[in-house]
Amino acid sequence: MPREPVLVRADREHKSLSAAGATLTVLCLVVGGLFVALRHPAAPAERMTVMVPPTAVSPVARPEPDPAGRPHPTAAALPRLGDWTPQRGVRIAQRAAKWLGWPYSFGAGGVDGPSYGHAVDADSRNDGHVYGFDCSGLTMYALGPWRGLPHDAAAQYHAAGSYHPPLNQLQPGDLVFWSPDGTVNAIGHVAVYVGDGVVVQAPQSGDTIRVTPLYGVERAYMGATRPLT
């Protein structure tokens, strides 16, 4: 039976890791055991109930240890939930990671790939001329072969799947969400977990799609959805 959604407070700070080699047209990344060739750009809802206190961890954060000391489940040991499989999770992560280095553009991107965005504030004033993705546009592309998603991070929390794994049991391809007040309706950001404690995210206008430690994305409540469940 799917668990009730839970958003968890995360007050950790880390330095972001970004794709290096800006002059290269093809980059390579190994994250969570995945080897990915990266294309450089050519031009009142459910509320959190668990608190995670601030603590110092390594720059590349690992999933949280289980409170009872139980080992993290391996992909091979995980039961099949809906149409999700570990192999499909890896494909979702790979589809997100291949756009590393492409620009963020508000309202841009989707199942067919990058597109031009539009301006909604001063920060995004140039996004109508920027060809790329925003955070939910990137996840739309990542899940495109298996499920259509709305172009809205909050709506994707339920639309992507019905199982919401705890942060210490994330698998590649899981979607991770951030909410400033801990409610699902207030979710404002989504990223794709790729393993080894890091996510691929499209951060904000003026930035590029990058790899970031899980606890280095935002100081906000966090929850997750396992796609296709």
Mean model confidence pLDDT for the chain: 79
Does some domain include residue 71? no
Does some domain include residue 36? yes
Domain that holds residue 201: 8-51+80-225
% residues pLDDT > 90 (the chain): 65
The whole-angstrom separation of Cα 57 and Cα 33 is 21
Give me 16's structure tokens. 């972001």
210 three-state secondary structure: strand
- How many independent structural domains does the chain possess? 1
50-52 vs 8-10, strand pairing mode:
parallel
Q: How confident is the model at residue 194 (pLDDT cuts 50, 70, 90)?
A: very high
Decide if 71 contacts 10 (C-beta within 8 A).
Answer: no
Q: How confident is the model at residue 8 (pLDDT cuts 50, 70, 90)?
A: confident
The region that residue 73 occupies, defined by phi over 0 for left and psi between -120 and 50 for alpha, beta otherwise, is beta
Does some domain include residue 67? no
Give me 207's structure tokens. 């930035």
- pLDDT (average), residues 138-157: 98
Q: How confident is the model at residue 73 (pLDDT cuts 50, 70, 90)?
A: low
CATH of the domain at 45: 3.90.1720.10
Does some domain include residue 218? yes
34-39 vs 131-132, strand pairing mode:
unpaired
Checking if the pLDDT of 3 tops 60, the result is no
Checking if the pLDDT of 173 tops 70, the result is yes
Does some domain include residue 179? yes
Does some domain include residue 150? yes
Q: How confident is the model at residue 184 (pLDDT cuts 50, 70, 90)?
A: very high
- pLDDT (average), residues 38-47: 38
Checking if the pLDDT of 70 tops 90, the result is no
Does some domain include residue 121? yes
Q: How confident is the model at residue 151 (pLDDT cuts 50, 70, 90)?
A: very high
DSSP 148-203: ---S-HHHHHHHS-SB---GGG--TT-EEEEESSSBGGG--EEEEEEETTEEEE--
